[in-house]
Amino acid sequence: MTSPTGLVFNVQSYSVHDGPGIRIEFFMKGCPLACEWCSNPEGISPRPEPGSYPSKCMGIADCGTCLKACKQGALLFTPEGTLGAVDREACIGCLACTEACFTGALTAWGTAYTVEEALELIRRDRAFFERTGGGVTISGGEALLQPDFVLAVFEQCQAEGINTCLESCLHVRQEVLEPFFEVTDLFIADIKHRDPAIHKARCGVSNERILANISYLARRNACLVLRTPILKGFNATDEAMQAIGDFILDELDNRVLQYQLLPYRQLGTEKYASLDRAYPMAGFEGYERAEWEPDIRRFLKLLQARGINAVSGNNTKF
Ligand code: SF4
Ligand code: SF4
């Protein structure tokens, strides 16, 4: 049987936000959700894509190697002869232009890793894991859109005593989760909103499957951390937070290691531009610290008073 490969859009060493200790984190390409506030738009498409950063382009007169590399005629240049954009209709995602461009004006979003290549990177950080209780986290995009690769990496990590954490949106068929119970030390998932219609309107899909999978993880006694990105005009109300609190208590029997509240921050706008996409939150009036800090403090009080281990931020020890 051939070993699976995984399409990854970022690998981050020394990560301290998604699981205990110092971790290496793999961000898998492809996501079934379309959250308006997504800060990783390069992780949404399941295919490789070039990102364009025109300000780094030297111009056709001095360079132009990408033009020769692209057989689809998908690169668009300005009248001055510098990179303008990528014609996304014509582009087939071969990434030949990104290999040709040495200035970073064209960047590859999506690199294929074999399981062994991923393990080599993981093993290099082993000393940090041992010192800090860290390990590997596989996130996305959506990690479970490429379950064979993630499973193969986790199986080998477990065999080598390396801690594993799966961060997933959980919008997947329940049976996809099954083999992960054996090889996953920690699951991290979001509850963005309790109301299915509101969730669908802002995230592109209903939350029913997600909530059912979270309940399933709790019933199976999985180690589970839940998160909510707090966003004004979406879920930054006492009612929305209490509804999530009800779910944690009634449906999960409070079997959650930690419930993390994360304020929305406007990140990733330049990456939308690199993909020739409009930033969906461009018209958002903002949610400044002076506003979100007291909001989160109040939500924490409400939830903690009900016995939920709610915390602010995603690098709190547990
Ligand atoms: S990824 Fe391939 S098809 Fe797309 S612009 Fe680059 S070279 Fe052309
Ligand atoms: S290879 Fe890069 S620097 Fe050279 S012309 Fe193309 S985009 Fe510009």
**Could you tell me the CATH number of the domain that includes residue 131?**
3.20.20.70
pLDDT of residue 316: 63
Is 295 found in the same domain as 250?
yes
Please tell me the distance between residue 82's alpha carbon and the centre of ligand 2 in angstroms.
8
> Measured from the CB, is residue 93 less than 6 Å from ligand 1?
yes
> Measured from the CB, is residue 95 less than 6 Å from ligand 1?
yes
- Domain range enclosing 211: 5-45+113-312
Classify residue 317: in a domain, yes or no.
Answer: no
Is 148 found in the same domain as 21?
yes
Cβ-based neighbours of 267, under 8 Å, separated by 6 or more: 39
Classify residue 303: in a domain, yes or no.
Answer: yes
pLDDT of residue 185: 97
Q: What is the 3-state secondary structure (H, E, C) of the chain?
A: CCCCEEEEEEEEEEECCCCCCCEEEEEECCCCCCCCCCCCHHHCCCCCEEEECHHHCCCCCCCCHHHHHCCCCCEEECCCCCEEEECCCCCCCCCHHHHHCCCCCEEEECEEEEHHHHHHHHHHCHHHHHHHCCEEEEEECCHHHCHHHHHHHHHHHHHCCCEEEEECCCCCCHHHHCCHHHHCCEEEEECCCCCHHHHHHHHCCCCHHHHHHHHHHHHCCCCEEEEEEECCCCCCCHHHHHHHHHHHHHHCCCCCCEEEEEECCCCCHHHHHHCCCCCCCCCCCCCCHHHHHHHHHHHHHHHHCCCCCEEECCCCCC
> Measured from the CB, is residue 65 less than 6 Å from ligand 2?
yes
Is 179 found in the same domain as 34?
yes
CATH at residue 85: 3.30.70.20
Is 173 found in the same domain as 296?
yes
Kindly report the protein residue whose alpha carbon is nearest to atom 8 of ligand 2: 57
Please tell me the distance between residue 71's alpha carbon and the centre of ligand 2 in angstroms.
15
pTM: 0.94
- Among residues 271, 315, 260, the alpha carbon closest in space to that of 15 is found at 315
> Measured from the CB, is residue 157 less than 6 Å from ligand 1?
no
pLDDT of residue 3: 82
pLDDT of residue 294: 96
> Measured from the CB, is residue 72 less than 6 Å from ligand 2?
no
Is 98 found in the same domain as 35?
no
- Nearest atom (ligand 2) to Cα of 103: 3
Cβ neighbourhood burial of 270 (10 Å; 0-12, 13-18, 19+): exposed
> Which of 86, 109, 132 is the endpoint of a domain?
109
- How many domains is the chain built from? 2
- 289 near 230, Cβ under 8 Å? no
pLDDT of residue 283: 80
Is 290 found in the same domain as 237?
yes
Is 146 found in the same domain as 23?
yes
- Nearest atom (ligand 1) to Cα of 98: 6
Classify residue 127: in a domain, yes or no.
Answer: yes
Is 159 found in the same domain as 99?
no
- C-alpha 92, offset from chain centre: 24
Classify residue 230: in a domain, yes or no.
Answer: yes
Q: What is the mean pLDDT of the chain?
A: 95
Is 200 found in the same domain as 67?
no
Is 155 found in the same domain as 55?
no
> Measured from the CB, is residue 65 less than 6 Å from ligand 1?
no
Positions in the chain short of pLDDT 70: 1, 316, 318
Is 194 found in the same domain as 129?
yes
Is 85 found in the same domain as 217?
no
